[in-house]
Structure 1
Amino acid sequence: MTSLPTSESDIAHLAPLVTRTVALSPEDGTALLGLLPATSPRDALSWVRRGEGLVGWGRAASVTTHGAARFEELESWWRDVSSSAVVRDEVDLPGTGPVAFGAISYAADSPSGATLVVPSVVVGRRGDQWWVTTTSPDALPGSADPVAHDDVASPGEVAFADGSLSPTEWAGAVAEAVSRIQAGALDKVVLARDLDVQTSAPIDVRWLLGRLAENYESTWVFAVDGLVGATPEMLVRREKGLVTSRVLAGTIQRTGDDEHDLALAGSLARSSKDLEEHEYAVRSVADALAPHCSSMNVPEAPFVLHLSNVMHLATDVAGVLTDETSSLALAASLHPSAAVCGTPTPVADALISELEHMDRGRYAGPVGWMDARGDGEWGIALRSGSIHHDDAQRMTLYAGCGIVAGSVPEAEVAESDAKLIPMRDALTARP
C-alpha cells in the first residue's frame, strides 16, 4: 500500500502478512514477562496485568502517523494490513491472529506521533489458555518456541533532574490554573510535569516491566516503542460487543498503615474537591461512548481503588456496542478525556499548552493493542516514561494532577511526586 503523506511505514506491503496462532503449553512457573528476549527498547512490547495479557517482540510491520488525523490514518493502515493478511488461527480468542500494539501522542502536533507495531512474535495468556502468534511479511509463516530468559540487566546508577519546570515553578503553574478556574474560565485542567533520567547503563525494558508488575499487580504493565509504564486506567476495552472504560480521577497518597489508609479512603470518598474532579471525568467518558453504545451503565457513585502507593476514586462505565467501531476508534472518540485534559476540553487543552512548557509526547495518550476483529484494550499512558530513541541511557518520566477550584499547589506537587514513585522505584531497584 502507499502510505499517507503524514505517515511513515516500514514496509511496502507488496505481499500480505502471514500470521499463524497456535496453542502453547508452557512449563509450570513460566511468567509471561519472563519470555521477552533481549531486544531494543523500541521492540519490546507488553500489555500484562496479573500475569495475563500479551507480550511481543520483533517487527513484522509498523507505521507512524502525525497530526490531527493520526488516529484515522492508523485505523486505515491496520484495516488494510489485517484484512489482507493470510491468517491461520487455531485458538480464536481476542488477541489471537494479527495483533498490533500501539502508542499515540497526547497532542496532535507532538513530534512523537502515533505508532502501531505488528510484532514478529506474540505470546498471550488468558486464564489457563496460552498461545503464540508468529507473523512474517514472507510467503511462509515464522515459527517460535518461546523460552524464559534470565539475562535482564539493571540500569546501573540512576540520576534524576528537573525537567521543563522545577517543583516550585510547577506549583506556580498550578496556582495560575486555580486562579483561571476560580475566575470562571474553565472547570478543570490536568497539569503534568516531567523528570529527566540519566543511567550509567542502557535501560533494559524488561527490568522496568518486571519491577512494575511485581509492585503494581492491579495495573496494566505496558511497553510500546520505548514508552514504558504501569497504568491503572483502562481508557476503553472492546470485546465481543461489550465496551468498558475505567475512569480514575481524585487521588490521595497512601501511608502504609492499613488503619490510617482506610480512614484516608473514607475522606477521599467524601471529598467535594475530588468528587467534583471525578464527576467531570466520568461525564466526559459517558458522553463520548453514548453514540456508539446502548444499555449504558454509569454508576451513581465511585468506589475507591487501592494501589500500592496511592488511592483513586474510580468508576467503571459499560455499554453494548451498536456499530462496528473498533477499539482504536473508540479510544480516539474518548481522547482526551477530562481525566487527562480537563473541562471544557478546548479551554483546558489551550491552558495545558500555555502552562506546562513541555511536550507530553505519548504520556497521557492511548496505549494498548488491537486485533483484526477490532477488539482490543487501550489504557491511558500514566505512571510512565519514555526511553529516548537515540540514547538508551536517557529517559523522561511524567506525572499529572487534576486541578479544580479547591486545589492547593503544594498538595498537587506532593501528589505528582507520589505518582512518579512507581517509575523511580522501578529504575532504582537493586538486583
Structure 2
Amino acid sequence: MSATPHPAPVPPSGASTGSRAPAPEPQPLVVRTTRIDPLPADLTALVDLLPDTRPLTWVRRGDGLVGWGEALRLDSFGPGRFADAEAAWRATLDRAVVRDEVRLPGTGPVAFGTFAFDDGAGDHFDGARPEGSLIVPRVVVGRRGDVSWMTTVSPADQLDAPGSEALARTVRETVTSPGRVRFADGAVAARDWPAVVAEGVERIQAGELDKVVLAREVLATTERPVDPRWVLARLAAGYASCWTFSVAGMVGATPELLVRSEKGLVTSRVLAGTIRREPGMSDDDALLHAAQLARSSKDLEEHEYAVRSVARALEPFCSSMNVPDAPFVLHLPNVMHLASDVTAVLDPATHASSLTLAAALHPSAAVCGTPTTAARDLIREIEGIDRSRYAGPVGWVGADGDGEWGIALRSAELGEDPRHVRLFAGCGIVAASDPQAELAESEAKLVPMSWALGGLS
C-alpha cells in the first residue's frame, strides 16, 4: 500500500517557522482494529507477514506488533524531540476516528518510534536531520497470546479494507539473502579503541565521573542489498528472549527494556555487567561463568550505577517502586548480563505516557554513564563516532499512552546504500575496566547483528 503524504516535520523547540505558509490540514485518520484468525505458533509468524523492505517491527517470543505502509510520519528535532513528538501524536489522536473491537495493548492507533541517542547539542547536529520519528503504519498486525488482530489506518477519504480482507490482499515480495558480507573498521579502528577506553578509565580515576559507556562501530558491506526482513527473521528466531525491532532504518534485537507502561504498571529491565559466552560452552561452564559474573566487583559496580539511574528517573512519576536487592544473570546465546527488573506503580496524577517515561529515563547510566552530563560530554569528546539512533529509545506507543520502549542495542543502521550497514556495540567503563577486556566484550556484543547478516556461521 502506498503511504499518504505526511505533515511537515515538527521544527526544533523554540525555533521560528518564519514566513512559510502553514501546511495543509491533513485528513483525519480512520483506525479500525478487528480480530483475525490465529497466526501459526512460530517465533517468526509476525515477521513472515511483512510484505516489503520497509518493515516496522516489535516482536518478542513470537508476540508483538509488525506494520507496513505509512499513514503518517511525525519527525522531531533536537533537545525537544520527545516532547514535540508526543504533542504531535496527541494532536493526531484528537482528530482520529477509532473503532477497536479487540481492546488489548497494541490495538487501536499505534505509532512505532525511534529517537537519537544525543539531544542535538553535539557537533553533528545541523537542525535538518530528524532526531526523532513516530511512524503510524497503514497496516498493523499483532499477537498477544492466543489473540491475533489487524489494524488498518487510513485517511478519511481513502478507507482501506478491514481485517483479514486487507491481509489477504497484501502482496509479499520475496525475501532475499544479502549474500557475502565483508566487515571493516568504522571511524575508530579496533586496534585503536582500547586507547579510547584507557582515556575513559584515566578520567574516571581522576575523579571526573564514575562511569562512562563507550561505543564503537563496524561497517558491513554486503554482496546484495540488505532486506531487513532477512535480518529480522533470523533475530526473532535466534534471540527470542530479546525484543526484535525495526523502525526507520534501525534494526536489532535488544535485551534491554527501557520501559513498559501497561494499565498503570511500569517495568524497566536494567542490564549492566557482561561476560562473554564462548561458542560451544557447556551448561556447566556457563553456570561457572555466571557465578563469576555475579561476584565481579567491577560488574556489580557498573550495574549498581545503572539501577540507581533508572530508579531515580522513574521516582517522580510513580507512587511506589520495587528495586531488587541483587541482580540475576540473564543468559543469551552470545553473552551473559547482570540484570534487574525494576517495577513501579504509575501515579495517575502525573498523566505520564510511556513516551514521557522513556524521555525521562534516557539516557540511563547503562548507555551513557554517571553523572549523566559528565559522561555525555566525555562521549562527545573521545568516542569518535556519531551514534545516531544507536542506544536511543525504540519501540511503540498506543492511543492511551501505554507502550513499550527498548534501548536500540545489538543493532545496526541501514544506510541509504542498501549494501552498507553500520553495526554498533558499547561497553560500560568504570575505574577497574581493562581496555583489552572491553574490546573483547564489544566483539561479543557485535555477534547478533553479524550473525543475522549472515557474516558468522
Shorter-chain TM-score range = over 0.9
- 1:46 equivalent to 2:46? Answer no
- 1:360 equivalent to 2:360? Answer no
For 2:315 and 2:189, the matched residues in 1 are separated by 40
Corresponding residue of 1:35: 49
Corresponding residue of 1:305: 330
For 1:265 and 1:349, the matched residues in 2 are separated by 30
Corresponding residue of 2:374: 347
- Asked if the contact 2:249–2:414 (Cα under 8 Å) also holds between the matched residues in 1, the reply is yes
Corresponding residue of 1:132: 150
Q: 1:88-99 alignment to 2 at 5 Å?
A: 88-99=99-110
- Asked if the contact 1:6–1:66 (Cα under 8 Å) also holds between the matched residues in 2, the reply is yes
For 1:118 and 1:224, the matched residues in 2 are separated by 11
Corresponding residue of 1:141: 159
| CA displacement at 1:14 relative to structure 2 | 2.7
- The gaps in structure 1 that reach 5 residues or longer are none
| CA displacement at 1:261 relative to structure 2 | 1.0
Q: 1:180-259 alignment to 2 at 5 Å?
A: 180-255=203-278, 256-259=281-284
Identify if the C-alpha distance between structure 1 residues 230 and 148 changes in structure 2 by more than 3 Å, giving closer, same or farther. farther
Match among 277, 287, 311 for residue 262 of structure 1: 287
Counterpart of 1:64, as a letter, is D
Identify if the C-alpha distance between structure 1 residues 159 and 3 changes in structure 2 by more than 3 Å, giving closer, same or farther. closer
- 1:25 equivalent to 2:37? Answer yes
For 1:163 and 1:331, the matched residues in 2 are separated by 29
For 1:248 and 1:210, the matched residues in 2 are separated by 24
Counterpart of 1:310, as a letter, is V
| CA displacement at 1:158 relative to structure 2 | 1.1
Identify if the C-alpha distance between structure 1 residues 178 and 81 changes in structure 2 by more than 3 Å, giving closer, same or farther. same
For 2:410 and 2:204, the matched residues in 1 are separated by 26
Corresponding residue of 2:98: 87
Counterpart of 1:317, as a letter, is V
For 2:194 and 2:321, the matched residues in 1 are separated by 39
For 1:28 and 1:412, the matched residues in 2 are separated by 41
| CA displacement at 1:358 relative to structure 2 | 1.1
| CA displacement at 1:94 relative to structure 2 | 1.1
- Asked if the contact 1:34–1:148 (Cα under 8 Å) also holds between the matched residues in 2, the reply is no
Match among 377, 380, 400 for residue 426 of structure 2: 400
| CA displacement at 1:63 relative to structure 2 | 1.6
- Asked if the contact 1:190–1:400 (Cα under 8 Å) also holds between the matched residues in 2, the reply is yes
For 1:4 and 1:153, the matched residues in 2 are separated by 36
For 1:20 and 1:404, the matched residues in 2 are separated by 50
- Asked if the contact 2:38–2:147 (Cα under 8 Å) also holds between the matched residues in 1, the reply is no
Q: 1:383-422 alignment to 2 at 5 Å?
A: 383-388=410-415, 390-422=416-448
Corresponding residue of 2:180: 157
For 2:222 and 2:356, the matched residues in 1 are separated by 37
For 2:419 and 2:160, the matched residues in 1 are separated by 32
For 2:331 and 2:391, the matched residues in 1 are separated by 21
Corresponding residue of 1:382: 409
- Asked if the contact 2:252–2:410 (Cα under 8 Å) also holds between the matched residues in 1, the reply is yes
- 1:426 equivalent to 2:448? Answer no
Corresponding residue of 1:108: 119
Deviations 1:219-271 (A, max 9, x none): 00000011000000000000001111000000000122211110010010011
Counterpart of 1:15, as a letter, is Q
Identify if the C-alpha distance between structure 1 residues 246 and 400 changes in structure 2 by more than 3 Å, giving closer, same or farther. same
> RMSD of the alignment, in Å?
1.8
| CA displacement at 1:112 relative to structure 2 | 5.1
Counterpart of 1:137, as a letter, is P
For 2:208 and 2:38, the matched residues in 1 are separated by 57
**Other structure's SS at 2:423 match:** strand
| CA displacement at 1:13 relative to structure 2 | 4.2
Corresponding residue of 2:20: none
Identify if the C-alpha distance between structure 1 residues 12 and 326 changes in structure 2 by more than 3 Å, giving closer, same or farther. farther
**Other structure's SS at 1:338 match:** coil
**Other structure's SS at 1:294 match:** strand
| CA displacement at 1:429 relative to structure 2 | 5.9
**Other structure's SS at 1:197 match:** strand
* Corresponding residue pairs, total: 425
For 1:4 and 1:154, the matched residues in 2 are separated by 37
| CA displacement at 1:26 relative to structure 2 | 3.8
Counterpart of 2:405, as a letter, is W
For 1:63 and 1:427, the matched residues in 2 are separated by 30
Match among 46, 57, 65 for residue 68 of structure 2: 57
- Asked if the contact 1:112–1:361 (Cα under 8 Å) also holds between the matched residues in 2, the reply is no
For 2:137 and 2:378, the matched residues in 1 are separated by 38
Corresponding residue of 1:5: 11
| CA displacement at 1:64 relative to structure 2 | 1.3
Corresponding residue of 1:121: 139
Identify if the C-alpha distance between structure 1 residues 270 and 12 changes in structure 2 by more than 3 Å, giving closer, same or farther. farther
Counterpart of 1:37, as a letter, is P
- 1:290 equivalent to 2:315? Answer yes
Identify if the C-alpha distance between structure 1 residues 430 and 261 changes in structure 2 by more than 3 Å, giving closer, same or farther. closer
**Other structure's SS at 2:204 match:** helix
| CA displacement at 1:27 relative to structure 2 | 5.4
| CA displacement at 1:150 relative to structure 2 | 7.9
Q: 1:272-291 alignment to 2 at 5 Å?
A: 272-291=297-316
Deviations 1:119-152 (A, max 9, x none): 0000000000000000012335312125795821
For 2:303 and 2:171, the matched residues in 1 are separated by 42
Identify if the C-alpha distance between structure 1 residues 28 and 357 changes in structure 2 by more than 3 Å, giving closer, same or farther. closer
- Asked if the contact 1:35–1:148 (Cα under 8 Å) also holds between the matched residues in 2, the reply is no
Corresponding residue of 2:26: 14
Corresponding residue of 2:345: 320
Aligned residues: percent identity? 59
- Asked if the contact 2:10–2:74 (Cα under 8 Å) also holds between the matched residues in 1, the reply is no
| CA displacement at 1:3 relative to structure 2 | 5.2
